[in-house]
A and B are shown apart, each in its own frame.
Chain A
Amino acid sequence: MFGYYLDLALRSLKRNKVLTALMVLAIGLGIGASMTMITVLHVMTADPLPDKSVRLFYPQIDPQDMEGYTPGREPMDQFSWIDAMNLLHARKGSHQVATTGGRVTVRPPQGKSRAFFADARYTSSDFFSMFDVPFLYGSGWTADDDDRQARVAVISRTLADKLYGADHAVGQALRLGKDVFRVIGVVDHWDPVPHFYDLTQGSYHKTEDVFLPLETAIALGQGTSGNMNCWGHGGFPDPRNMKNANCVWMQFWVQLDTPTQVQAYREFLVHYSEQQKTLGRFQRPPNTRLHDLMGWLDYNHVVPGSVQLQALLALGFMLVCLVNTVALLLVKFLRRSSELGVRRAMGASKQSIFAQLLTEASLIGIAGGIAGLLLAFGGLWIVRHQPVEYAPYAHLDMAMLGATLVLALCATVLAAMFPAWRACRVQPARVLKIQ
């Protein structure tokens, strides 16, 4: 039976090629525009560490003085050195990491190219195990290296290739400005999207090329980068004395494996704030937060408003295309009243007419889906060539590819429901008489 419907559908579609093409084009445009934007949105709202994100948490505390204090306001979203170190050494989580961004001057080995800047990350030792950073060669450093201010470095595969060839990098000397470090590990391609562990650098920042032990980098005065917020009347601090400054400029992450641990950590943060207040360091009443990874991304609005707006626009476009399809299908089906009347008179049930018309619509939907897919590929290609930070990640994966076709098919069949229902209500006697 389905084969027969298919044959009828193909005949009908061929009879009016222009109209068929119009419908396919309309659906294709709608699907293409929507899928382009949905894919971008899908990439931007992705979970950077799907296996672990529910166990990673970002705490917040409120270390500011009473100036400009309003109860109920969100606390600051970074940490001062003292607080980061206190939380780090309290070791209340399974793992914890204090980290900050930096920029280093890489001086290539003798005889190679000129010096250049590279983005760096200064971090305590748990960073690599906590965020599942894949190593190509070597490994990260230990907590002991942190404390000893060891001059060791982990570099990206790209930088290793550029400087020494990735195979020979471990054990080499890395010259950063006036200081020399020993390379102990090479990170394989690792580019979590969004750049969740430090959103102050831009949510879709690329992974840094150089990783240094936090204590070492700060002690040597390697340049930090990122956002810094200060309070009090000190103004911006002397870069050599960042450790005592009334400024927040560090990120802190903690891994908590069980709900009990999470609850305990919440209590710990309040307790810590109270203790610091007793000591006179904090002035405000405890104001703490503990977001899990996805909650932290949401709190920081990592998806730009403009992208949401574009997605909304694409859906509006899709809606217009669908209304267009409904109208065209309606006239197309009603036009065939006489043909359908003959089939009804010869014994076809309403259901079979309905099924026949939906078969026809499905064909249009599939064709529209393929057209939409091509347009989405084109659209994403254009997005990738835009100088926006999320551009390189705009790719259609298999899931989205399937989703496109299913969406096109469902949308068209749904759009065809009403016209098909109208068309199969035709009274055989009446249309036969007119003919």
Chain B
Amino acid sequence: MNLPLQPILASLRHHRLTTALLMLQVALTCAIVCNVAFMIVTRWGEVRIDSGIDETSLSMLESQGVKADATPWIHHAEDLTALRGIPGVTAAVAVDTLPLGGSESSTGACASSEAMEAAIKANSIDGQSACAEFATLAGSPGELAALGLKLIAGRDFLPDDYKTGDISAAIISRELAERLYPGAQALGKSLYNGSDTPVRIVGIVDTLLRPYLRDAGINQFTMLWPQLPNDNSVTYLLRSAPRDSERVLKAAVAVLNKVNPQRIIPAKRVRTYTQMRDSYFQRDTTMIGLLLASALGLFFVTALGIAGLANFWVQQRTRQIGIRRAIGATRGDILRYFQTENFLIVSGGTVLGMLLASALNLLLMTHYELPRLPLYYLPIGALILWGLGQLAVLGPALRAAAVPPVVATRSV
């Protein structure tokens, strides 16, 4: 292709102010969009996090007794029997909380009693390598199966394990096992939590997410507790085919009110697991939508700017284009001229934009605890802007290419 750059550069120098403004616009767009894209990807990763449980088959409702109750568990057990009688319900258990359920009880424990003593002395388990802070999830017998958790070692709780007081058996997540016993078999080991009796690890599940997310490294630090929910307020977890869940929930409310009308079942807390998960991440999905809209808006405005300017230049240069066509330039030459011109402007803009993107990221990192922008976002952003520029300039460039040579002979 014989496309000398000189005339293009000369023309850009002639319009250097406009060119500089357009480059600035491309640069700002590049800087903002790279950072926005990174935020979107980061948040999307959080929203998609694996809970480890069979989400689509699960639904739940909360119940709270109106009157004080001396023996809540006995009443929960009655409720569960009634719930299991609903056609379509394959499992029903009482739990205190669920992965992404929001409210969390957490505790600290260590792999050895020495480590626990060291932690007590230091008044903190932070910094003790053999200790960890994790969330505990309590539930009635059958919770493991109802949640659809994958047991990778050991066994489920036996009826004898369930107590309302001090617990002696626990099932922990694989991630917690690897944290507490790196490189060793955690099954059968004991956990020391400062109470008199250590807790024996009887099983390990593949992944089980916390009720309330924290930092990336510790979101899967969880323990299942064979503790019978013995509180006035309880969550009933129901397992059914996904298509039955709405019907099952309706039936469950009716059944529970029949067993004992002296209770409150908040309507907002009668929902499928998917609904609960969506509401947990509501803020993040809203933010993703907003970020996406602003990125698209920026692209749109930039494309408008490029197309508007190119349009103007084509109109302005109609006569020159005619002359070039008259002295032998092909339509392709004219088309390529405008495309190359655009490529040069956008390139200049993206080079500046990549620098701005890194600077903006540094600024955001200091104020909003965002992670560092991975470098590969920069060339991707540049590629998209090149594509966008070419797309925006195509219309005006085609119009320019369609200018007939005869224009050269007319006066403007």
List chain A positions with a Cβ less than 8 A from chain B: 18-19, 22, 25-26, 29-30, 33, 67-68, 105, 107, 114-117, 177-178, 305-306, 308-310, 313-314, 316-317, 319-321, 323-324, 326-328, 330-332, 334-335, 386-388, 422
Contacts and interface: CB of A to CB of B under 8 A. Distances in A.
Contacts, number: 104
Contact of A320 (B28, B266, B316): B28
Contacts of A308: 368
B316 A306 contact: no
Grouping DSSP codes into helix (H, G, I), strand (E, B) and loop, the B interface class, with mixed when no group exceeds half, is helix
13 contacts: A19-B312, A29-B301, A117-B264, A177-B66, A178-B68, A306-B283, A308-B368, A310-B290, A320-B32, A324-B304, A327-B18, A328-B305, A330-B21
A320 B294 contact: no
B51 interface: no
Interface in B347-370: 364, 368-369
B38 to A, nearest CB: 13
Contacts of B309: 327-328, 331
B158 interface: no
Contact of B25 (A117, A177, A313, A324): A324
B28 A306 contact: no
Contacts of A387: 279, 282
A196 to B, nearest CB: 22
The 10 closest A-B pairs by CB, nearest first: A327-B21, A324-B305, A323-B25, A331-B312, A316-B32, A320-B28, A22-B308, A22-B304, A386-B286, A387-B282
Given A313-B32, A320-B28, A327-B305, A305 B312 contact: no
A328 B308 CA distance: 7
B17 A330 contact: yes
A115 B286 contact: no
Contacts of B193: none
B37 interface: no
A25 to B, nearest CB: 7
Contacts of B152: none
Contacts of B291: 313
Interface in B13-70: 17-18, 21-22, 24-25, 28-29, 32, 36, 64, 66-68
A322 B28 CA distance: 11
A296 to B, nearest CB: 22
Nearest to B312: A331
Contacts of B364: 309
A1 B300 CA distance: 38
Interface in B262-303: 264, 266, 279, 282-283, 286-287, 290-291, 294, 297-298, 300-302
A268 B165 CA distance: 46
Contacts of A309: 364, 368
Contacts of B266: 117
A317 B294 contact: yes
B311 interface: yes
Nearest to A68: B123
A320 B123 contact: no
B299 to A, nearest CB: 10
A248 B189 CA distance: 38
Nearest to A330: B18
Nearest to A389: B283
A314 B36 CA distance: 12
Given A33-B297, A319-B28, A386-B286, A18 B311 contact: yes
Nearest to B304: A22
A323 B353 CA distance: 14
Nearest to A26: B301
Contact of B28 (A115, A178, A323, A388): A323
A320 B283 contact: no
B18 A33 contact: no
B36 A313 contact: yes
A371 to B, nearest CB: 13
A408 B287 CA distance: 26
B305 A26 contact: yes
Interface in B159-189: none
Contacts of B18: 327, 330-331, 334
B230 to A, nearest CB: 15
Nearest to B120: A233
Contact of B301 (A19, A105, A310, A324): A324
B327 to A, nearest CB: 22
B28 to A, nearest CB: 5
Contact of A323 (B21, B264, B282): B21
Contact of B298 (A317, A328, A330, A331): A317
